Each structure stands twice: as C-alpha cells, then as structure tokens.
Amino acid sequence: MKFAIYWLRASFFMLLGIAVSAQAQHKPYQYVNPLIGTAKMGHTFPGATVPFGAVQLSPDTDTLSYEENGAYNKDVYKYCAGYQYDDPTIVGFSHTHFSGTGHSDLGDFLVMPTVGKLQLNPGIASNTATGYRSKYSHAEEHAEANYYQVRLQDYNINAELTTSERVGFHRYTFPQSDDAHIILDLTAGIYNYEGKNVWTFVRVVNDTLITGYRQTQGWARTRTVYFAMTFSKPFKSYGKKSSDKQQVYRGFWRKFDQEHNFADLAGHNMKLHFDFDTKDQEQVQVKMAISPVSQRNALANLRAEIPHWNFDAVKSAGQQRWDKELSKIEVDMLTEDDKVNFYTAMYHTFLGPTVYMDVNGEYKGLDQEIHKAEGFTNYTTFSLWDTYRALHPYFNLVQPKRNADMVASMLAHYDQSVLQMLPIWSHYANDNWCMSGYHSVSVLADAILKGVYKGDPNHALAACIATSNRRDYEGIGLYIDHGYIPADKNNHSVSSTLEYAYDDWCIAQLAKKLGKPDVYQTYMKRSENWRNVFDKEIGFMRPRLSDGSFKRDFDALDTHGQGFIEGNSWNYSLFIPHNPTALVNIYGGPKKFAAHLDSLFTMHLPDKYFEDTEDITRDGIIGNYVHGNEPSHHVVYLYNYTNTPWETQERVRHILKTMYQAKVDGLGGNDDCGQMSAWYIFGALGFYPIAPGSLNYDLGSPLVKSAKINLENGKTFSIVAKNQGDKNVYVAKVILNGKTLDRTYITHDEITNGGQLEFVMQAKPTKK
C-alpha cells in the first residue's frame, strides 16, 4: 500500500461534508467512504451508484491501452476500476465499472465537459493543454453514497454525479463561455486496445436527445450497450470525429458532411461534441440511460426512472435506498474508523452483482436473444471464484430475495448456454471464463439448502451435474478419469483439482437434500479427489503427472509454474473447506496441524515469490498468509478444528485491523466484487461460513461492541460483545439465547430464527 493517506476522523467527515452530530441521526450511508480501497490494490471506484445499480457512474483518471508495443501493458492493471487516487488528472466520467476486480472491461460512454478550444482527444497527464482532460485536487473532491463532486480546474467547471438504477445524472456548473462543450467519447473504455470497439452508432433525435449503442469485444466477447442521452439545455451545434482507418470501400455516405451537425452517425470509433453558450454559474444537466436491449428501452428506462430535472431529488432518493440497505445491519463499534470500515464494507458488498434488465424486464441473454425475466430480477457481474466464499452466503442472511434472484439468473444463463454450463464469470450476456472451478454450484447449493431459493431444485441439480461433467472445460475430463488433473496437461492442475473437489461436495449435499443417493455417493467420492494431489512425504499439495508421479522440481512457496492460480502450495494445501477434520488428520492430528498453521502466519515470505505478481504486495501478506487472494479466506478459522481455537480469535482480530483500514489504500488486496468486504463483515460480527453448502458458521472474535441483523423475515439476530476492547480479543464463553455453547459454530437456522449471540471477551486466551 504505497500511497498511504491516513484519514483522521475530523478530516474524513469534512471531506464527506458530514457533521460529527450525524451519529445521532443513525444514517449508515454517512459512514460510507467510497474512496477506501481506490489505490492500486483496492481497485474500487469512488463514483455514484444505487445498490446493485446497472449504472455505476465514476471518474476515470487515465486512458492507458491494454497493449504496449505488441505486449501486455502492466501499468493498465492499476485502472481496473478506472480511477487512481494518486493521479493528478481526470479524463471524464463513464457509466459502467467493476469494483475491485483484477481484470477489467466496461467504462462505457465517457462524458467530459470543457470550455474553450475544442479538443477531442484526452491528451497527456503531464500537459493537460494537449487534450480534454483536466487537473483536479482532492481538496475540491467530495464523495459519498450516490454522489460524487469535483472541480475541473482547467475549465473551472464543477462536476456533480448521481444515479438511479439505470440512469446516470450529471450536473455541470459552467463559467461564462461562448465555447462550452460536452464531449461524448465512444472510443474510451477500460482495458482498451485498438480494435476493441466493434461498432458504434448514434442518432441525433433533436437538439436535446441522442440515442445509440456501443458494441465491444473485450473480457466479454460480444457485449452491446444501448443508450439514451438527454440535455437540460438545447445545444447550439454538434459534431463528431472518427479515428477509423480509411478503408478502400467508402460507400456513398461520403455525400454528406458527417462531421458537423449530421444526425445519423456510425463507425468503429467516434467522439462527439455538443456545443453551448453558457452564463456564469449556469448549470447544464445531462441524463444518460443504458439498456442491454435497445435504444427504445434505454429511453423508456430514462423516462421511467428520472422523468424530471431535479438532481438533488435523485441524489436524495438514492441515498435513502442506501440507508435502507445499510440498515440491514446496525452496529456499535469501538472507534469511528471501525464504523467507517464496517459500513464502507457493506457499501462494497452491495455494488454487485448488478441489475441486468430494463424496466420492462427485458434483457439480452447468453444466446444473444432478447428474454424477459418473469418473476425475478435478472443480474450480471458474477465474479464467482471470489464471491461464492463469503459474499453469496452473506446475501443469504441479509439479501435472501436478491440472492434467490441471482440463482435464478445463473439458471437462466445455463438454460441459454449452448455449452450447457452454469456461469463461471459472467457479465453482459457473456461468460468470460475467468478463473477456475465451477463455483455456481456452491452458490446454488448454499441457497437451496438454506431455504433461500424457492425455484425448482431438481433443475438446479441437473445444471450442477451438467456443468461438472463438461469434459472439455479446464481439465474436467482428466479430473473425472484420473481423480486429479495431470500437471503435464493443465497449468493450474492442483488448484483446479482442489476447487472441483469442494464443488463436488456441494453437489453431493444438494443431491442428499433432494433424496438422490446415487448422485450423493458419486459426488462424495469425487469430493475426496483432493487426496490424490497431497504428497505425504513433504506435507503439501503437489502437481502430479499423467503417469502418477509427482512433479520433481517443486517449490511450495512459489505461485508460478507450480500448478496453482493466485496462490502457492502453502495456502492451497489448506483448501479442504468441506472436510477440515480430514485435513487436520492428514497433517498428523490437531497439535501438528496447529503448528503448521502457526508457521503459515509467522514465517517470512521472500519478496521474490510475489514481486512479479501484480495483485499482491507485502502489505497484503501476514507471514505467508495472503489475505488479498481468496483461497486463504477460510484458513484462519481452521484453528477451531484443533485444540487452539483461541488462535482463530487472535488472528481474526489481527486481520481485521491490518488488512482493512479507513484510508484510500485501506484494503489488503483487490475487493473482488465484494468478497474482501464480505469477509470483513462476517469477521466483525464474529462468525464465518468456511464451507458454503454447510449450514454451519465457524465462530471467531467479533470486532463489534454490538450488532443487530434485521432479517427479511421480520426477525432480528443480535450480537453482543461484553468487555469488548482492542486488547480483549479472546472469547471466554459464547451464549446463544441464554444458553452457553459448547461448540465453535452456530447454525444458519439459529441466526434466521432470531435471537441473541453473546460473546464474553477477555485479554487472555482460554486454553481449554
């Protein structure tokens, strides 16, 4: 975390414009800091959005290409979310973003207000006069839930952003000028490269309304987004510039002057400008609605959601929505920073998945046909390798209706898939196939077993089975035939074997629930395949070849070339969340296993093992435990299966305090669409789902003084930590509804039935 900017309580609330007395108003959104996590490792965006909004409107601070000299440009990684806190300039405000991903796409429909000489390229940060970008200062930047404001210094324009679910709302306060412009750059995007734009199209309907679309081939191979854009003031003129390479066939459109005031525009790469005369302090407002289906639907979205020009009313309505969602958990914390961390984490968890359908229920499906969501809200942005671990289990507690709709969305994806597979990592009617495992099955099984998804469970089981048997995907056929994936056939052979084994256990639990004993036995057997890549001689998971021998040249500390993805063998060897007792036993029992865990947290990992890994720095590592990469997220709770559960308590509190801080680089790794933040929320509440698909949550050490979960069924589940303090991190006893627990877990039903969980805290561990 190189660019540490510490947020003192007073300066933080001054930035957000919040009075200290706001605590008495019980407005959770006022404790949200959208800037937390925006530095290199956080990759969050600081702009405006409503919970799970399709539009996520945010400033972008540079326009680096994904490609440099024919190769991957490593610097582009910093711009996964479009915004870098330490950048000195802003190039504009685009309408779609990912939050905390380690790869990227989107950045659609970049809008930038300017005055003076018209320039239609962004220019360079070292000399903003070369383009339309502008310098800005954090002293003149303001961020809160569903609102972003900044003064663009080069133009003396005050820019403000807010949103509804499908509409971005801009308010620009101009100086006096007869050369004011609003630029719409249809070439701009995140992880951009030459040729990414397949086609763009614009219709200038009248002097306040334009519509169009943009089709790209990027992380999503076939993604089309339609828009309707309207201005509060008629523009006096307009035009476009195209950077398309001249082709031999030019057609007969050349009869027209298409660069000036021409209403029917198309091309691969277009930049448009709309020109105004403005008085001093005159406000020109812009609304941009998006649709996955059509220009007509985009316009319908705009008219349905924001039919007026009252910016402040839209901002207020969005903040009321945030208050409603954030009030699902009410907490009292030891410090203001802890409260900011907690509600900012909640904010992050409600940024995605994102709504993916129009107000009429229509959306474009995986088959590229138009579908209508009947009886559910359709969602996209499923970063499942990350979010199955804690985010979706968290939704099963605080957002069960939404999570049920997300399951329905995954099943719709399966129904539309010609490959007959559930999503791996899906967005915008595409699967980008990023990362390993088939973790939709974890989400489906967990939601069905916990009574959240009310649809056809047999259809869900059939989808899980079909996905798990897709032999040509990521070594599944080899996994079925060998009981492991041979390292000479697949680069991520060990990690995929381990992830498939866990997913197969989830399928087994679902089959058991549905009374399918043959399926249950088949998948329970498959769930034990992790044993086939465990080398007992060295005590680590190890790549195994087709002939059954283990790979000779092996380094358990190395992440690269050892059969793992985003983790080394030290961390992945502990990835048996579905059978921790067997894991403990294979290491020689509780005492030896606890010592092995201690080594993970206390050893020194030399720089050479992560210095070339762009998503991990020293600040995201504790010993050799890498919190910023998700395969380790359950590990700290494994002490509960030894004789030292107090070490879970101690280390959970340490992670909560060191990996999550109220500053702009406050996350110890990518937030990964809310997974890092969901881990924080569970940890702060005092329990965690180490194996989704199980009905149990392992106990840790709460950070809250008290918390109340307001459940959708009308009941409440309260957590109280008596004697809470920074030094009192150990649990003397746990009392559930007046009865002392003699176990290190609670169940899903015990939470959803309502009641009170009481932790009695102390400064010394109870070594019993």
Q: Report all structural domains of the chain as residue ranges with CATH numbers, in order of start.
A: 1-31+328-357+616-768 (3.30.2080.10), 33-324 (2.70.98.10)
pLDDT digits (tens, 9 = 90+) for 420-441: 999 999 999 999 999 999 999 9
Task: Answer for the pair 474, 546: CB distance below 8 angstroms, yes or no.
Answer: no
Q: What is the pTM of this model?
A: 0.95
Two structure tokens written together for 125:
């940060």
Tell me the pLDDT band of 457, cut-offs 50, 70 and 90.
very high
pLDDT beyond 80 at 15: no
* Mean pLDDT across the chain: 94
Is residue 382 classed as helix, strand or coil in its secondary structure? strand
Residue 12 has pLDDT above 60, yes or no: no
Beta bridge partner(s), residue 202: 212, 265
Q: Which residues pair with 718 in a beta bridge?
A: 708, 756
Does the pLDDT at position 283 exceed 90? yes
Convert the pLDDT of each residue in 509-546 to its tens digit: 999 999 999 999 999 999 999 999 999 999 999 999 99
pLDDT band (50, 70, 90) for residue 8: very low
- pLDDT(109) > 80: yes
Main-chain dihedrals φ then ψ at residue 631, nearest 5 degrees = -55, -15
3-state helix, strand, coil in the chain (%, to 5): 30, 25, 45
User: Stretch 40-54: mean pLDDT, rounded?
Assistant: 90
pLDDT at 608: 86
Q: Please determine, for residue 214, whether its predicted confidence score (pLDDT) is greater than 80.
A: yes
**Amino acid identity for residue 5 in this structure:** I
The contacts of residue 610 (CB under 8 Å, 6+ apart) are 559, 616, 617, 618, 621, 626
The answer, yes or no, to whether the previous bond of 400 is cis (omega within 30 of 0) is: no
pLDDT band of residue 10 (cuts 50, 70, 90) is very low
The whole-angstrom separation of Cα 41 and Cα 525 is: 39
Q: Is 389 exposed, middle or buried (0-12, 13-18, 19+ CB in 10 A)?
A: buried
Q: Mean pLDDT, to the nearest integer, of 116-136?
A: 97
**Is the pLDDT at 693 greater than 50, yes or no?**
yes
Residue type, 155: Y
| pLDDT classification of 26: cutoffs 50, 70, 90 | low
Instruction: Write down the pLDDT at residue 635.
Output: 98
CA 58, CA 44: separation in Å to the nearest integer?
10
Q: What tens digit of pLDDT does each residue of 329-364 get?
A: 999 999 999 999 999 999 999 999 999 999 999 999
Residue 17 has pLDDT above 90, yes or no: no
Q: What is the mean pLDDT of residues 705-713?
A: 98
pLDDT at residue 176 is higher than 60: yes
Band of residue 747 on the pLDDT scale cut at 50, 70, 90? very high
Q: Which pLDDT score is estimated for 25? A: 52
Residues 6 or more apart whose CB falls under 8 angstroms from that of 684 comprise 331, 338, 342, 345, 656, 702, 703, 704, 707
Q: How far apart are CA 651 and CA 451, in angstroms?
A: 32
pLDDT tens per residue across span 137-171: 999 999 999 999 999 999 999 999 999 999 999 99
Amino acid at 724: Q
pLDDT, tens only, 474-512: 999 999 999 999 999 999 999 999 999 999 999 999 999
Place of tokens 């050479």: 608
Average pLDDT over residues 118-128: 96
Q: Render pLDDT for 593-645 as a digit per residue (tens, 0 to 9).
A: 999 999 999 999 988 888 777 777 787 899 999 998 889 999 999 999 999 99
Extract the tokens encoding 94: 């685009």
Residue 643 and residue 57: Cα distance in Å, rounded? Answer: 50
* pLDDT of 548 strictly over 50: yes
Distances (CA, A) of 101 to 192, 363, 427, 676: 16, 24, 13, 11
Numbers of helices and strands, H then E, in the chain? 18, 38
Closest among 37, 678, 717 to 330, alpha carbons compared: 717
Strand order in the sheet with 92-94: 58-60, 92-94, 110-115, 177-185, 270-278, 237-242
Distance CA 118, CA 114 (A): 8
650, 765 Cβ separation under 8 angstroms: yes
Q: Are 322 and 714 spatial neighbours (Cβ–Cβ below 8 Å)? A: no
The answer, yes or no, to whether residue 13 has pLDDT greater than 70, is: no
What are the φ/ψ torsions at residue 29 (nearest 5 degrees)?
-65, -20
From the list 588, 685, 556, 568, the residue with the least C-alpha distance to 635 is 568
C-alpha distances in Å from residue 749, one per residue of 247, 399, 450, 451, 580: 65, 16, 8, 10, 22
- 55-78 pLDDT, tens per residue? 999 999 998 999 999 999 999 999
Strand segments, DSSP code E, in 243-352 are 264-267, 270-278, 282-291, 329-332
C-alpha–C-alpha distance, residues 342 and 213, integer Å: 38
Q: What is the DSSP string of 415-450?
A: HH-TT----SEE-SS-B---SSS-THHHHHHHHHHT
Share of the chain above pLDDT 90, in %: 89
In angstroms, the CA 19 to CA 242 distance is 48
Distance CA 315, CA 169 (A): 9
Q: What letter would DSSP give residue 620?
A: G
Average pLDDT estimate for 575-602: 98
pLDDT category, 18, cuts 50, 70, 90? very low
pLDDT digits (tens, 9 = 90+) for 380-422: 999 999 999 999 999 999 999 999 999 999 999 999 999 999 9
Per residue, the 3-state secondary structure of 32-76, as one string, reads CCCCCCCCCCCCCCCCECCCCCCCCEEEECCCCECEECCEECHHH
pLDDT at 615: 73
pLDDT digits (tens, 9 = 90+) for 182-207: 999 999 999 999 999 999 999 999 99
| Distance (Å, whole) CA 754 – CA 751 | 5
CA gap 572, 341 in Å, rounded: 28
